[in-house]
């Protein structure tokens, strides 16, 4: 889909997708890094919401009662996606998110926004799934709030790396919880799109960087 190419270039222009020498939280040395914390303007948030909404529209049919954004990076994703679904596709979807700390005054609790009800179909919006830790933390919160159906998980990028087993983190989540995951793009699509492609007059993924990416996936990736 055309929005995938646009999204990849958008990440590069926003300084979210960068190439070089990095170390992930798990200790792996990686030639590329995705830092969604570098989105910082209203225009970027609006575009980001449109990409998430396009992915939802393409992959998740039927009624969606709520978007859930896990604290903290998932929160603006849920809000921006809900706005774009309303503006671009006429789908008026509720949104909610969790607090990291339980509020013991006012309305209390850990959830903010739409109050989930049993039977609701919920879509989770996240940035990048590497180990699946955030998902394993938020699923009990959702189930504690109500007996909801998780209709899908939407993420920016599937890094296609092994998690705790030979499966990727996304594959592990689907196998463990039966939740389908829909990435806007995969790392393979990033490689194929950006290899020797000029973005604003510069090549960000040349032959040398492509080899580093392929070597990294040979060592840590899933096929």
- Give the pLDDT confidence of 43-54 residue by residue, as tens digits: 999 999 999 999
Joined tokens for residue 161 = 């790396």
Nearest to 153 by CA among 132, 109, 23: 132
CA 209 vs. chain centroid, Å, equals 24
Give a three-class secondary structure readout of the chain.
CHHHHHHHHHHHHCCCEEEEEEECCCCCEEEEEECHHHCCCHHHHHHHHHHHHHHHHHHCCCCCCEEEECCCCHHHHHHHHHHHHHHHHCCCCEEEEEEEEEECCCCCEEEEECCCCCCCEEEEECCECCCCHHHHHHHHHHHHHCCCEEEEEEEEEECCEECCCCCEHHHHHHHHHCCCEEEEEEHHHHHHHHECCEECCEECECHHHHHHHHHHHHHHECC
Beta bridge partners of 14: none
Q: Tell which CATH classification among 2.20.28.120, 3.40.50.2020, 3.20.20.10, 3.30.420.40 matches the domain 2-220.
A: 3.40.50.2020
- pLDDT of residue 103 exceeding 70, the answer is no
Give the pLDDT score at 223: 61
Cα 16 from chain centroid? 13
Phi, then psi, of 86 in degrees rounded to 5: -70, -50
Percent of the chain with pLDDT over 70: 93
Rounded mean pLDDT, 204-221: 95
Confidence of residue 109 (pLDDT cuts 50, 70, 90): low
- pTM: predicted TM-score of the whole model, two decimal places: 0.92
User: What is the residue-averaged pLDDT of the chain?
Assistant: 91
Mean pLDDT of 180-204: 96
Pairing of strands 202-203, 198-199: antiparallel
Mean pLDDT lowest among 11-15, 39-43, 68-72, 122-126 = 68-72
The model's confidence at residue 119, banded by pLDDT at 50, 70 and 90, is very high
pLDDT higher than 60, residue 108: no
Percent of the chain with pLDDT over 90: 70
Q: How many CB atoms lie within 10 A of CB 142?
A: 22
Report which of 148, 144, 182 is spatially closest to residue 1, judged by C-alpha positions.
182
Residues 6 or more apart whose Cβ sits within 8 Å of residue 22: 29, 30, 31, 32, 33
pLDDT at 27: 84
Active-site annotation, residues: 103, 105
The confidence score (pLDDT) of residue 26 equals 74
pLDDT value for 1: 63
pLDDT one-digit tens code per residue, 18-43 = 999 999 877 889 999 999 989 999 99
Distance CA 223, CA 5 (A): 22
């Amino acid at each position: 889909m055309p929005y995938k190419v646009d999204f990849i270039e958008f990440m590069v222009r926003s300084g979210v997708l960068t190439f070089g020498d990095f170390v992930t939280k798990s200790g792996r040395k990686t030639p590329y890094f995705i830092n969604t914390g570098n989105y910082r303007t209203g225009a970027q948030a609006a575009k980001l919401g449109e990409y998430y909404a396009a992915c939802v529209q393409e992959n998740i049919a039927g009624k969606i009662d709520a978007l859930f954004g896990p604290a903290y990076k998932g929160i603006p994703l849920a809000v921006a996606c809900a706005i774009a679904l309303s503006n671009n596709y006429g789908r008026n979807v509720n949104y909610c998110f969790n607090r990291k700390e339980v509020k013991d005054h006012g309305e209390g609790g850990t959830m903010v926004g739409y109050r989930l009800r049993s039977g609701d179909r919920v879509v989770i919006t996240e940035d990048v799934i590497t180990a699946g830790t955030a998902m394993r933390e938020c699923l009990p919160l959702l189930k504690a709030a109500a007996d909801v159906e998780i209709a899908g998980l939407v993420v920016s990028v599937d890094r296609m790396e092994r998690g705790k087993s030979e499966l990727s983190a996304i594959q592990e989540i689907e196998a463990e919880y039966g939740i389908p995951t829909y990435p806007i793009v995969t790392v393979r699509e990033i490689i194929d799109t950006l290899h020797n492609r000029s973005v604003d007059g510069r090549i960000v993924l040349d032959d040398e960087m492509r080899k580093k990416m392929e070597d990294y996936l040979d060592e840590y990736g899933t096929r």
